[in-house]
Amino acid sequence: MAKPRDPAKTAPRTGPRHVAIIMDGNGRWAQKRGRPRLFGHHAGARRVREIVSSCPDFGVKYLTIFAFSTENWKRTQTEVAGLMSLFRRYIMKEMQEFVKENVRVRFIGDRPRLDAKLRGLMDEAEAMTEGCTGTNLTIALNYGGRDEVTRATQRLARDVAEGRLRPEDVDEETLPRYLDTYVLPDPDLVIRTSGEARISNFLLWQSAYAEYEFIDTLWPDFTAKIFGELLSGYGARDRRFGAVSA
Ligand code: FPP
């Protein structure tokens, strides 16, 4: 049986290598200005660009952002359609920039429910940036942690049923290979903006040992400067992974 991965051996000693962000507060940001919620989402999309560009300066090699959850379909049809159109336009507009900035783009989440045009653009973006070796940007689109574990378990069960995997060989190393994030390291730091202290079904398995930062700033106000300040706070922490300090 493979030995469980020891997070204390793989985690960085200084700043976080992998930061995951729950970008919350776009709606309230727009409301405060008397504008429709989509206005806030557009402002939020502009912040994504700024934060992605700042990653090399801060030594963040992996950035994972929660753009649309499996629960977000419950929003009004206008908001859902507006967000889908924003994602399509965002991918079309930003891809050349990402290639120029050496950003490798990946998507996680359940794709079949997304429309064919968007799925095509997602495939294209992944293919176009495949050779990029700078920041690894992962966009969670129609993503839910429980949904991801459920889909992973279905694939794992199929491998067992078809004789490719023995039940006794399933351990903490095996299961993550079936997750959408199988090529990514676990996040070291998870940030949520807008004052809500919830994880909302984001990276449930992967964040077992992550640090969390819940900050009041609404996502469209989240600047690279604020990002840098949060990251420097992280360096001062003592991550023990269940052990005691040396
Ligand atoms: C949560 O704010 C935000 C979302 C559901 C969408 C996140 C999308 C973006 C930041 C836009 C673009 C992203 C990409 C990758 C192009 P909310 O609407 O729940 O805000 P509220 O809690 O104030 O209502």
Domain spans of the chain, in order of start: 15-144+186-233
What is the model's pLDDT at position 2?
Answer: 43
Establish whether 72 is a catalytic residue: yes
Q: Which of 28, 31, 41, 75 to mutate to test the pocket of ligand 1 (most atoms within 8 A of CB)?
A: 41
What is the model's pLDDT at position 199?
Answer: 96
Å from CA of 39 to ligand 1 middle = 10
Which member of 6, 72, 169, 238 is catalytic? 72
Is the Cβ–Cβ distance between 137 and 108 less than 8 Å? Answer: no
Is the Cβ–Cβ distance between 178 and 8 less than 8 Å? Answer: no
Superfamily grouping for domain 15-144+186-233: Decaprenyl diphosphate synthase-like (3.40.1180.10)
Contacts 24+ apart (CB under 8 A), 130-133: 130/104, 132/98, 132/99, 132/102, 132/103, 132/104, 132/105, 133/102, 133/104
CA 211/CA 238 separation, integer angstroms: 10
In the sheet where 211-214 sits, what is the strand order?
104-108, 136-143, 62-69, 18-22, 189-192, 211-214
Is the Cβ–Cβ distance between 157 and 166 less than 8 Å? Answer: no
Which residue's CA is the closest to the ligand 1 atom numbered 5? 68
Q: Which residues line ligand 1 (CB under 6 A)?
A: 23-28, 37, 41, 44-45, 48, 65, 67, 72, 86-87, 90, 139, 194, 219
In this structure, what token pair is assigned to residue 31?
């409301």
Å from CA of 136 to ligand 1 middle = 20
Mean pLDDT by 10 residues, the chain (246 residues): 45 79 98 98 98 97 98 98 98 96 98 97 98 98 98 98 98 97 98 97 98 97 97 75 60
CA 139/CA 202 separation, integer angstroms: 12
What is the model's pLDDT at position 12?
Answer: 46
